[in-house]
Homo-oligomer: A and B are copies of this chain.
Amino acid sequence: MTETTLRSPADEALLERFRARKPVALARAISMVEDERPGFQDFLHTVMADGPSARRVGFTGPPGAGKSSLVAAVATAYRTAEEQVGVVAVDPTSPYSGGALLGDRIRMNDIATDPGIFIRSMATRGSLGGLATTTKEVVDLMDAFRFDRILVETVGVGQTELEITAAADTVVVVLVPESGDAIQAMKAGLMEIADVFVVNKADRPGAARLVKELRQALHLRAGSAMKDVPAHHGVDLGRALKRERTEDPPAPDREGWEIPVLTSNALTGEGLEELLETIAHHRTWLTEGGALEERRRERAARRIRDVVDRGLRRVAWRSERVRALLDEGVERIARGGGTPYSAADEILGALLR
């Protein structure tokens, strides 16, 4: 697999425009990947040759937590710093996002006219099963398109959606007082994926309680960490971080990252600065602590597995013989003469013979 393996002159032309950073070429490439059109893997291989370079931040949380508003605010801040920003939103088309979503999208549209930012909303419908891998591949396309920052937004409900957060270097879990208590967040596995917790809509009743619960849950989980909680995990993270900046930056904690719990109000911008500082702080820890390379290795291993599994499925179900065995199996089961397991055994036998 080299650049010369691109299937068609059309792909070569697309590659050229992609490298010239034409947004329309990026959009085309994304569609190519989403539809798994012939040669899409060759295209990915070609543009990914230089490896990842973008700073990837994932935002996940319940519908209505205000993720999109927060992503829009963060994206705007990065744009103000002249960074090129890509946004991948796994569209929570579920009705459960309530009215919040529409409002969020409208706020998102405020910045959608800026040429320095590219927003792609992934449809969750249709691509059943493949959504996680496809979304990660779209993030890689954006990385190859040389955005400085890539913000990945997923509704943190459901396994597929949570898995997508693995595409990010830093995962911000956004909660609101309404989204339940810390125990539920723990049970949902959010403690495992979160690098930063943000309690958004912090002006609402219950926000302080949720922050307290999250910190307690995190400290319980960290076990002995209870004894030596870093200063900047006190009540005012913002002031602590500002204090830090007045001195030389502290040596990154190679032992591990203490997950901070921040508060924000995406609409007023309250807490935004602290969030940006924390993301930057985490980036320092990731790079100097060696965790970034580790995460990228894990990501590479996972991607290789996914691509191999996808390839195996293709080879298997492309075969006439296998499809015939599938039909025969279904017929036998309908007549009460077998089970999916005996039929699968036959097919595996044929494939592995």
Cα(A97)–Cα(B158), bound, Å: 12
Q: Is A352's beta carbon under 8 Å from chain B?
A: yes
The stretch that binds B, out of A108-116, A253-261, A337-345, is A337-345
Whether A351 sits at the interface, judged by CB under 8 Å, is yes
Indicate whether A287 reaches chain B with its CB closer than 8 angstroms.
no
| Shortest Cβ distance from residue A264 to the other chain B in the assembled complex, whole angstroms | 17
Q: Is A171 in the interface zone, CB < 8 Å from B?
A: no
Instruction: Report copies per complex.
Output: 2
Judge whether B95 and A190 touch: CB under 8 Å.
yes
Within 8 A of B (CB), among A149-187: 155-161, 163, 175, 178-181, 184-185, 187
B158 touches A157 (CB 8 A): yes
Which residue of chain B has the shortest Cβ distance to A302 in the bound complex?
B340
* Cβ B308 vs Cβ A347 within 8 A: yes
Contacts of A44 in B (CB 8 A): 339, 341
Partner pick for A333 among B51, B101, B313, B317, CB 8 A cutoff: B51
**Assembly CA distance A342 to B309 (angstroms):** 14
Q: A159-B124, A159-B158, A341-B42 are in contact. Are A97 and B184 (CB under 8 A)?
A: yes
Asked whether A27 is an interface residue with its Cβ less than 8 Å from the other chain, the reply is no
Q: A18-26, A69-77, A220-228, A292-300: which lies at the B interface?
A: A292-300
Q: Least Cβ distance of A243 to chain B in Å?
A: 32
Q: Which of A256-276 contact B (CB under 8 A)?
A: none
Q: B330 near A300 (CB under 8 angstroms)?
A: yes
Q: Does A280 contact B (CB under 8 A)?
A: no
A341 near B41 with CB under 8 A, answer yes
CB-nearest residue of chain B relative to A93? B187
From B98, B190, B326, B351, give the contact of A312 (CB < 8 A): B351
In the complex, the answer to whether A125 meets B300 with C-beta atoms within 8 Å is no
Cα distance A305–B255 in the bound complex, in angstroms? 44
Listed in ascending order, the chain A residues whose CB lies under 8 Å from chain B are 1, 41-42, 44-45, 48-51, 62-63, 93-99, 101, 124-125, 128-129, 131, 155-161, 163, 175, 178-181, 184-185, 187-190, 293, 296-297, 300-301, 303-305, 307-309, 311-313, 315-317, 326, 329-330, 333-334, 336, 339-345, 347-348, 351-352
Find A313's partner among B185, B297, B309, B351 (CB 8 Å cutoff): B309
* Sample (12) of A-B pairs whose CB atoms are under 8 Å apart: A1-B342, A45-B342, A51-B333, A95-B179, A95-B181, A96-B180, A125-B189, A159-B160, A301-B329, A303-B340, A308-B351, A311-B348
Pick from B163, B185, B311, B316: contact of A344, CB under 8 Å: B311
User: Within 8 Å CB of A181, what residues of B?
Assistant: 95
User: B313–A301 contact, CB under 8 A?
Assistant: no
A88 to chain B, nearest CB (A): 16
Is B180 in contact with A95, judged by CB distance below 8 angstroms?
A: yes
Are A184's CB and B308's CB within 8 A? no
6 more contacts with CB within 8 A, not counting A95-B187, A97-B180, A301-B326, are A42-B341, A62-B95, A129-B163, A159-B161, A305-B326, A309-B312
Q: Measured between alpha carbons, how far is A307 from B343 in the docked complex, in Å?
A: 9
User: How far is the CB of A186 from the nearest CB of chain B, in Å?
Assistant: 9
Interface centre among A44, A157, A304 (most CB of B within 10 A): A304
